[in-house]
A and B are shown apart, each in its own frame.
Chain A
Amino acid sequence: DTEVTQTPKHLVMGMTNKKSLKCEQHMGHRAMYWYKQKAKKPPELMFVYSYEKLSINESVPSRFSPECPNSSLLNLHLHALQPEDSALYLCASSREGLNSYNEQFFGPGTRLTVL
């Protein structure tokens, strides 16, 4: 298995809802990432897990809560989001943890719309 999968593909939620985005990889990668991408913009890093520990939080609001249950899974829990949080949320993984040169493999993303 050489891919990163994300579910759901699309998600529409209200500002009072609680939802979760899921990401999975079975490549044995030790680092996993969450990115946010607005239309016609580059991906922006949100969180990095390295060896299942949260290593980087790019000052993301607390309404986004990441979780790494095991080395293959990465979740992003969403609560009380704002319409401006609507974006494509991308998950990525890389073979080694931080402090190494290796490409990140991206999933297809979850298109999130907050009403």
Chain B
Amino acid sequence: GESVGLHLPTLSVQEGDNSIINCAYSNSASDYFIWYKQESGKGPQFIIDIRSNMDKRQGQRVTVLLNKTVKHLSLQIAATQPGDSAVYFCAENIRGYSTLTFGKGTMLLVSP
């Protein structure tokens, strides 16, 4: 089975709300994680990454949290905007493999 999965296939929020997208992974050897955003008809766009020696990393309006104890990753988007509507994928790098394995994806729908 897949090593990386998401709890919610679709997340609907109102503009201005904070969004939280979750991702579970099962391989304890995963040591690098990336969140990608993919808009319709486009390739995945890098949002933020985190290494396993960290538990939190912040970017512009986004925060990634990593809980290695329960093998859980989340992406928080502050003040969600309609332009944030897209499918969000988490991806993991398993130590020693050097390639990314993508999770199933969550569609974020932002209503004005």
Residue of A nearest to B43 (CB): A106
A24 to B51, CA, bound (A): 28
Main secondary structure of the interface of B (DSSP, over half): strand
Q: Flag if A108 contacts B42 (CB, 8 Å).
A: yes
Q: Flag if A48 contacts B99 (CB, 8 Å).
A: yes
Q: Flag if B46 contacts A101 (CB, 8 Å).
A: no
- Ordered by A's residue number, 10 sampled pairs between the chains whose C-beta atoms are within 8 Å are A56-B99, A101-B49, A104-B34, A104-B100, A105-B46, A106-B44, A106-B45, A108-B41, A108-B43, A109-B43
Known contacts A42-B102, A45-B100, A101-B32, A109 near B42 by CB under 8 Å: yes
Min CB–CB distance B82 → chain A (angstroms): 21
List the count of A-B residue pairs having beta carbons below 8 Å apart. 46
A4 to B42, CA, bound (A): 12
State which size class the interface on A falls in. Answer: 20 to 34
Q: Flag if A43 contacts B99 (CB, 8 Å).
A: no
Q: Of residues 14 to 58 in B, which have CB atoms within 8 Å of A's CB atoms?
A: 31-32, 34, 36, 41-46, 49, 51
Min CB–CB distance A113 → chain B (angstroms): 14
Chain B residues closer than 8 Å to A105, beta-carbon distance: 46
Residue of B nearest to A44 (CB): B102
